[in-house]
Amino acid sequence: MNASNSYKVSHFILWTREKIIKMLIISTVPTLLFYFLDWKWLAIPWVPIALLGTATAFISGFRNTQTYGRLWEARQIYGSIINNSRTFGIMVKDFIRTENSDQKDIHKELFYRHFAWLTALRFQLREVKVWENVKIRS
């Protein structure tokens, strides 16, 4: 999933270039046959085209809503992790007393363990999952 505030047309062309080429080939052949060989039986009435267009619009609308819902849920979880990390840091500083020099390192150790957990979470979330439709080009 790609999530950003804005995209350029060149991004969409790069992402969909294979499908664009396939659709150009599929649509060019009947058009040339209709125009040059005068095969009028290739003409399609507007009603099925309008029906398919409406169905496609509904499907893409539902998918966009679902994608936005996932993005919003991820933002909420990310905000929760940030808030809980801040709370954890404050609690470590306030609740653990440090009278001698050996205990002063416990704050640092707890912070570093928390940073390690955050780093492990980051790497785990960036792994490619088997159920994702990501094509890796070599």
pLDDT tens digits, 46-80:
999 999 999 999 999 999 999 899 999 999 999 99
pTM attached to this predicted model: 0.55
* The predicted structure's pLDDT at residue 7: 80
- Give dist(CA 82, CA 87) in Å, integer: 9
Q: What is the pLDDT of residue 101?
A: 62
Q: How confident is the model at residue 33 (pLDDT cuts 50, 70, 90)?
A: very high
| pLDDT digit string, tens, across residues 74-125 | 999 999 999 999 999 999 888 887 776 666 688 889 999 999 999 999 999 8
SS (H, E, C) the chain: CCCCCCCCHHHHHHHHHHHHHHHHHHHHHHHHHHHHCCCHHHCCCHHHHHHHHHHHHHHHHHHHHHHHHHHHHHHHHHHHHHHHHHHHHHHHHHHCCCCCHHHHHHHHHHHHHHHHHHHHHHHHHCCCCCCCCCCCCC
With a cut of 80, say whether residue 134 has pLDDT above it. Answer: no
